[in-house]
Structure 1
């Protein structure tokens, strides 16, 4: 009887050992590779889509501000119904004195407009001249703003890719653990049935049956917990990929032999060249510089070439059509020192942005170094747990063999079983920690 139980326990414990390398064929739907998941997320993630729309908005703003270089047109129409019609008074001889006619008009003359409606049209075309410098600065600021929006797309893409990798690795661990737990649950149920029959035949003790039932209940709970966590993780990954969270899929296994190897100096160089946060900080500095130059340009007088047109309908005294060309000048020669303080404020903003660049670079270097060390620690821990699992497996094999030869008690077999189960759990957690550390390291050096 006890040898049968030991044999069942051996089969029970040996099944989960290779769970990481087995395919979860029970899951319905497509088999999704990590590369496919990342590509799907980069193409359909809604947060990335929002950032891409922001780039489009920045392009529209740039196109809009560029039109300010062109002539501007404005037309005004004033229509009046006279309540008190205007009177036009002309002094005697205001138009001159002519031989044979005398002064025109010969006497002081008053001309009244009719009570009918009148309309006045004012039209103007203005071409900026000195303002072109300021408009050019505004265009360059808009170009920088668009580059910043594009950088945010890259930043969001890297964040989403990291989340996808973390979620994918978690699903991989849960999927493998669930497969092993379900197989263990089946064996525990069979073991419970057999031991129950032996208890009824008084071949086994009731305590042994209770022990098996307790283990069965624990395994049933563990299976339920893993199944719920797996469902939640799959919903999260579907959400990150921008598709229906109910879409069924399974993940493709990743070889545990593929370890990430890179020198720290090379990683730091790649991070400084590839991280969008550094480019964003540099663009903020550039934007602050343009903003100060724009403020300085306000001291330049605004001179525009202007073409004007006027027409009056319903008032016969006024001209029906009048047009002219000239210049418009707007200038604030004295501002009580306001502009000086505003420029000083912009200069401090530049200094803040310059410090921000240095702070960002330093933070990224620290992040890369920290993630590099954590990756090495995770790799070393994975190796430790792999050896620990192999040792626990061998101890369990020896204990089972000695039990079959009636050299040790069943209790020692159960102790070896518990040690093996614990070592398997630690190995799976170490493997997940390694994959997660690798995903964080790839994000730190700017990889997608």
Structure 2
């Protein structure tokens, strides 16, 4: 009874484990997988923060159009200062030295300066009237920086989508490979059972039966490798979309057995207009041009104005408030060729940015051409693989029928089965590669 109890407990445990494993399966289509990856990706989050930073810098640059208002204040205490007393005396009759004393008498004065406190406070408003265009150029550069950060975010987003699609379709392909391997093992298992019966009836030699057994063992090993590969690819997709690595993902989409080529007319022109890398480089070239203009602006006259109010209080002795108005003008006169050298450096940066842009444009056109060729080749590979699969299926059916009536050998049947599996495998590979290439083509055009 104890033995039966253990068996029952173990059986219940396996059932519960199976149910929990089934409950953990997460069905995902391609769109959901992309969204999870975009939400989780850390590089994309960094790029989003860079967008926030660029927007804050743009707002900061705009504040230079507005007046700046600053306040100041101070408080002092002089604890060692004594009261100041001046004694009385007869005022002289004149300012010259040795003048006789007059009848006027100065009674003296006593100032309460002991523990004297001094309070000072003020507020100043300054406004740049003319800065040679530096404020305007600074705002243009900040605005271009925002546009660059947006393109950088879109570029990172496109890369995340491409990586996700690759992982998704690789998992889908491996899932089909596992199914194909299971079907192949079942096919060999059925043939092995048939040959076992024939061997027991002494209709075939043992070597004939063992030939099938060896083939089945190899197929079972390949099935094990396919299942392990599926698990690894499943973990890789979980890593990309931010799920625990032990999550069981159920791919809900399958490769399309009847794909169509996208319309690839004007692909290079679309790429030149849509690629984020080119927009980033174009923005950097604009910033380099603004920097050169900024050098000119720094060497133009600078005019500003200010309004200030200052309040002073010296204990109980004295207090006052005063408003002042002012203007300042700065005119660069001679700086030992600094402007010329800085303009030369700025011009060199402009040329570098333009050369980099032109070089990248050529690389983009080359990349688009390569992807177009790969798409066309993979499409032809699909047609070839499907034709080959159909012929392999017909060959297998004919070989099986001939084998059943004794016209073909076991080796012929095994070869036909292996060709059938290989043909199906080639079709799965071609269809999967085509799906990934379609995403890569969209990325090459800047459409993701």
Q: TM-score range by the shorter chain?
A: 0.7 to 0.9
Match of 1:370 in 2: 370
Match of 1:258 in 2: 259
Structure 2 residue runs of 5 or longer lacking an equivalent are 1-21, 85-90, 96-101
Match of 1:50 in 2: 46
Match of 1:298 in 2: 298
Q: 1:430 to 1:161 in 2, by over 3 A?
A: same
Alignment of 1:35-434 (within 5 A): 35-42=31-38, 45-82=41-78, 114-131=114-131, 133-189=133-189, 205-245=205-245, 246=247, 248-264=249-265, 266-314=266-314, 320-434=320-434
SS of 1:408's partner is: coil
TM-score computed with the length of structure 2 as normaliser: 0.79
1:72 Cα deviation from its structure 2 partner: 1.1
Task: Give, in whole Å, the separation in 2 of the partners of 1:213 and 1:404.
Answer: 19
SS of 1:68's partner is: helix
Q: 1:144 to 1:85 in 2, by over 3 A?
A: farther
Q: 1:237 to 1:351 in 2, by over 3 A?
A: same
Task: Give, in whole Å, the separation in 2 of the partners of 1:138 and 1:244.
Answer: 46
Match of 1:32 in 2: 28
Task: Give, in whole Å, the separation in 1 of the partners of 2:230 and 2:351.
Answer: 49
SS of 1:258's partner is: coil
Q: 1:49 to 1:243 in 2, by over 3 A?
A: farther
Q: 1:112 to 1:337 in 2, by over 3 A?
A: farther
Q: Which has the higher contact order (CA 8 A, sep 6+)?
A: 1
Task: Give, in whole Å, the separation in 2 of the partners of 1:333 and 1:161.
Answer: 56
1:44 Cα deviation from its structure 2 partner: 5.4
Q: 1:86 to 1:324 in 2, by over 3 A?
A: farther
Q: 1:27 to 1:434 in 2, by over 3 A?
A: farther
CA RMSD of superposed structures (Å): 3.6
Correspondence 1:438 to 2:434:
no
Q: Deviations over 1:69-95 (max 9, x none)?
A: 22212222233333786999xxxx9xx
Q: 1:290 to 1:44 in 2, by over 3 A?
A: same
Q: Deviations over 1:198-250 (max 9, x none)?
A: 66676654444543443333233322322232233333334444555526322
1:367 Cα deviation from its structure 2 partner: 0.8
TM-score computed with the length of structure 1 as normaliser: 0.79
1:142 Cα deviation from its structure 2 partner: 0.7
1:404 Cα deviation from its structure 2 partner: 2.3
1:125 Cα deviation from its structure 2 partner: 1.4
Structure 1 residue runs of 5 or longer lacking an equivalent are 1-25
Q: Deviations over 1:258-305 (max 9, x none)?
A: 2123244x2122212221122112111111111211222111233221
* Count of matched residue pairs: 411
Task: Give, in whole Å, the separation in 2 of the partners of 1:177 and 1:325.
Answer: 84
Match of 2:3 in 1: none
Contact 1:85/1:112 (8 A) holds in 2: no
SS of 1:395's partner is: helix
